[in-house]
Amino acid sequence: MHTGFVIFHFDHQTPSRIRTTTSLKTDLRESPDVCFLRSGFHVAEAGDEHKLTTTQMTNSQFSLANRKQLADLLADKYDGLRYKARQRFNRKAEALRISIISELAEKKGALGVVRKIEVAQKSIEDLSAELSDLGFELSYGDLRLRDRGSNPLNKAIATRVEKEIGTPEAIDARFDSAQIAMMTVASLEDAEKLLKSVSEI
């Protein structure tokens, strides 16, 4: 009389289905793609395929512990069946989203607008390079000097600012002088005049 074995296969294409076959081999170790255990269940990975093998198993021997082991295969854990199914789903969903976006963009004429934007961006890049050669740049919509520290225009600007409103050092000198003078003012009126004189630039 032959000994029967029940082999549960988890197909990576349809991980929710359990495909069972019956083997008349007396020792599953003869099959190179199936892991053999003397008792209980074992999951072996061959690529993305998970195989669950039972030895000398009958329906009457299919216990609650066996069911628990099967149920654990479906648990939410890293690198498990559910984890890998999610990964496959996410890859397919993202590829499908990209395909649908392209399809809708073509139907609505968005691709033509994209090409116009690409041309405009190239034009902006060329104009920005031209502006940079002149020593300027646009920063958040504001016109500024490019490379302020080494830009020769910066020196000309600093000279003009100093000529028209002075320097920060001059401000400090004025306040230092007023601070000393404040100790000798004769009245509150004189103190107010002194404060006013240094507060105006």
Q: What is the 3-state secondary structure (H, E, C) of the chain?
A: CCCCEEEEEECCCCCCCEEEEEECCCCHHHCCCCCCCCCCCCEEEECCEEEEECCCCCHHHCCHHHHHHHHHHCCCCCCCHHHHHHHHHHHHHHHHHHHHHHHHHHHHCHHHHHHHHHHHHHHHHHHHHHHHHCCEEEECCEEEECCCCCCHHHHHHHHHHHHHHCCHHHHHHHHHHHHHHHHHCCCHHHHHHHHHHHHCC
Q: What is the pLDDT of residues 27-62, one digit of tens each?
A: 433 333 333 333 344 444 444 444 455 445 566 678
User: Where residue 81 falls among pLDDT bands split at 50, 70, 90?
Assistant: very high
| 0.75 surpassed by pTM | no
Highest mean predicted confidence (pLDDT) among 9-18, 19-28, 95-104: 95-104
Region 130-153: mean pLDDT is 90
Mean pLDDT of the chain: 78
- For the chain, the domains span 5-74, 114-145, 152-199
